[in-house]
A and B are shown apart, each in its own frame.
Chain A
Amino acid sequence: GENVEQHPSTLSVQEGDSAVIKCTYSDSASNYFPWYKQELGKRPQLIIDIRSNVGEKKDQRIAVTLNKTAKHFSLHITETQPEDSAVYFCAASNSQAGTALIFGKGTTLSVSS
């Protein structure tokens, strides 16, 4: 089955810096890669996703890149703000096989002002 590895487990940056979180997956048939953000005490929410026919996707200060050959994808946050502090989860699934999302273990991002 699919296995998703996520690094780093914790990340501390200064406000205004960039943050990068990386994930690798094992199943070459996976074709959907979302990122969820979970603020303290709240439920996870989707912030961005990418499908296997696209190499990069951007939404304001966040972007996701996908390298299917190397089986890894990354979340990039630019100009970080204190409200970006949260736990971020990557995930992978194979839509056509109807498989559920398999999540990474999460990255705790702390942005200090």
Chain B
Amino acid sequence: DVKVTQSSRYLVKRTGEKVFLECVQDMDHENMFWYRQDPGLGLRLIYFSYDVKMKEKGDIPEGYSVSREKKERFSLILESASTNQTSMYLCASSLFSRAFTYEQYFGPGTRLTVT
């Protein structure tokens, strides 16, 4: 059974703080993704990574950065948190293939509140 875990379910931070959200998967998946979920806006892709130390921008990368030092771990970093980054953050992972898209497995989410 694929397991994707996120470091916190709920997080409250102050404006201007540096915030780290951690995601770990235990199925040796090459691909990892970070989304934010807001009511009425669906799942918007922030960044994804298809290999260690590789990263690709998604639709809304501004204000975020990522780190993938190990295959199983993908971190989302908010360099200077702002109130408009209050949201639910979802991590996901999947196998990688150049010819085939595989199912994404999601973590439980981190609800981040920036005050």
Q: What is the interface of chain A, defined by CB distance below 8 A to chain B?
A: 1, 6, 9, 32, 34, 36, 42-46, 49, 89, 93, 95-96, 98, 100-106
Contacts and interface: CB of A to CB of B under 8 A. Distances in A.
Contact of A98 (B42, B50, B103, B106): B50
Interchain residue pairs A-B with the least CB separation, the first 10: A105-B42, A43-B106, A32-B101, A103-B43, A95-B101, A46-B103, A106-B42, A100-B48, A103-B42, A44-B106
Contact of A43 (B48, B90, B100, B103): B90
Interface residues of B, number: 26
* Majority DSSP secondary structure for residues of A touching B: mixed
A32 B41 CA distance: 21
A95 B43 contact: no
A96 B59 CA distance: 19
B97 A95 contact: yes
A100 B58 contact: yes
A101 B108 CA distance: 19
Contacts of B103: 34, 46, 49
A45 B43 CA distance: 13
A54 to B, nearest CB: 14
Contacts of B31: 100
Interface string B45-76: 10010100000101100000000000000000
